[in-house]
Structure 1
Amino acid sequence: MADGVLYEVVDGLATVTLNRPGAMNALDTRTKEALRDSLAGAARDEDVRAVLLTGTGRAFCVGQDLKEHAEVLAAGGGMTTVGEHYNPIALAIATMPKPVVAAVNGVAAGAGAAFAFAADYRVAAESASFTTAFTDVGLAADSGMSWTLQRLAGYGRAADLLLFPRPVRAAEALSLGLVQRVVPDADLPGEALALARKLAAGPTLAYAAVKSALAHAASHTLPEALALEDTLQNRAGASADHRAAVEAFLRKEKPVFEGR
């Protein structure tokens, strides 16, 4: 990957790290392409069973690199980056058939916040903060934030945060449902890694089914949700992991999942 994104796979866990600390991990074109491609690769790679997304330095990601964007506008360009980069990144995070943990180590703004919101589990450092940022620069929401934010915090709070952007500190983010856990700054790397490793060692097919069921149920009726649960549960019930877990239970042992 490009220097702006570091990518490593160890024991089924793909760690994707935004690595432009001097620019607070702002998203220039090279970084967006590397992030898009690394996440797509993790989604395809059968050896990857979970993904950890984080950043280096004092920011998780402050969103679009506005210096580069100003040059695009001056040259007569527009917002093609949404379709080329932001949409594929958000979709990869939200729809890949394996869990994604976002370790929010600092400021998450604009698309950076949206990428964290698209993850399945968010653990934030106590010093982290979130801001939608879009309308502050005369833009609408992108990177899936109009979809994810209201599902996390409700329509009214989502509208408030999008219309009146402000920093939401980690403690408030926890109370609003924007993150699932807040830990001391020094503990974030270890806590997030432990969570992600636990998921990477878990029943991957079952996790994929949970992601699919949650996304489907958010916009379908109860009968439709039940129908999909039936399909997914039959699929999970036929997995080697389920059979191994039942056998381990009967032997009073801890199951070992292989992700199949």
Structure 2
Amino acid sequence: MTSTDQQTDYVTEVDGVLQIIIATAANGTSLDFGGINAGTAALRARKNEIGAILLTGSGPNFCAGGNVRGFAAAADRSVHIHEIATDLHEFVRALAASPAPVIAAVQGWAAGAGMSLVCAADIAIGGNSTKLRPAYPGIGLTPDGGMSWTLPRIVGAGRAREILLTDAVLDAEEAARLGILSRVVADEEVRAEADALAKSLAAGPRSAYASIKKLLNQSPTATLSEQLDSERESISTAASTPTGREGVDAFVGKRKPDYSATN
């Protein structure tokens, strides 16, 4: 899809990039379920038609976590949190099921569920003043949004235990060193850098990216021999696709590949 602009309150699709606003300035940049639920619906409806997914907050922070005041005001806190965790987890499942790369523009704080969504991204770009914190132990709660699954796979089991149990605050440098953030740029460049990356990926070889994600997702439970077999099948299949043919022919012809017709 090219030069297309479909706008809702929370979801925008431009040039193959589906941008989803997960938090707004309302309620202190806590998780906004208008954006979460609209994002889930858009991801399911456009699953095989988008080239990249960009997660961002519209306020000073990526996401400050759940609306704790909303927790406190609920008539039944357990029921309330069960309901919103269900919605959040449907969003995380939709992100994981998408063949498109997921990019997070992590400006300011990413706490609680915000940090969970950073961990759910394929690539996370932060700023010099970006900070991440699990935040759950600070209010006597436990993780949601998949953090207890994704964080150990990013930083290792021992480091994940320390971060979660001590409710550690990670600055941008430490988060990048651990691999939670993929890169760090100037604060004022976070959103532009993430947007440029998303557009670049959307214009790239989408079927190859989808297959790369599939290989990476299955690798933790595969043996080396099984993964080698999967890689062989994947690369040989890719070679006969329009995307693979264009990539190889462009290389041989010493020109930039044009994937617009294959995406």
Q: TM-score, normalised by structure 2?
A: 0.89
Asked if 2 retains the 8 angstrom alpha-carbon contact of 1:24 and 1:60, the reply is no
Deviation at 1:19, TM superposition (A): 4.7
> Which of 112, 118, 121 is residue 119 of structure 1 equivalent to?
121
Q: Is residue 16 of structure 2 the alignment partner of residue 12 of structure 1?
A: yes
Structure 1: stretches of 5+ with no match in the other structure:
none
Q: TM-score, normalised by structure 1?
A: 0.90
Cα separation, 2, equivalents of 1:30 and 1:17: 9
Partner residue in 2 for 1:185: 187
Residue 64 and residue 35 in structure 1: after superposition, are their counterparts in 2 closer, same or farther (change >3 A)?
A: farther
Gaps of 5+ in 2: 1-6
What pairs with 1:1-260 in structure 2 (closer than 5 Å)?
3=9, 6-42=10-46, 44-46=47-49, 48-74=50-76, 77-81=79-83, 84-258=86-260, 259-260=262-263
The percent of aligned pairs where both chains have the same amino acid is 36
The structure-2 alpha-carbon separation of the partners of 1:226 and 1:102, relative to structure 1 and needing over 3 Å to count, comes to same
Q: Assess if the C-alpha contact under 8 Å between 2:251 and 2:257 holds in 1.
A: yes
Runs of 4 or more above 6 Å deviation: none
The answer to whether the 8 A contact 1:82-1:142 is kept is no
Partners of 2:42 and 2:228 in 1: CA distance? 34
SS at match of 1:214: helix
Residues 17 and 198 of structure 2 are in contact (CA less than 8 Å); yes or no, is this contact kept in structure 1? yes
CA contact (8 A) 1:95 1:211 kept: no
Distance in 2, matches of 1:232 and 1:128, equals 37
Using the TM superposition, name which of 11-20 and 95-104 deviates more.
Answer: 11-20
CA distance in 1 between counterparts of 2:141 and 2:77 reads: 19
Query: How many residue pairs end up in the alignment?
Result: 256
- Counterpart-to-counterpart distance in 2, 1:26 and 1:40: 24
What's the CA shift for 1:142?
A: 1.6
Paired amino acid for 1:12: G
| SS of 1:14 mapped into structure 2 | strand
Q: CA RMSD in A?
A: 2.0
Determine the C-alpha separation between the residues in 2 that align with 1:216 and 1:224.
10
Report the Cα distance in structure 2 between the residues aligned to 1:128 and 1:9, rounded to whole angstroms: 26
Q: Structure 1: which amino acid aligns with 2:39? A: L
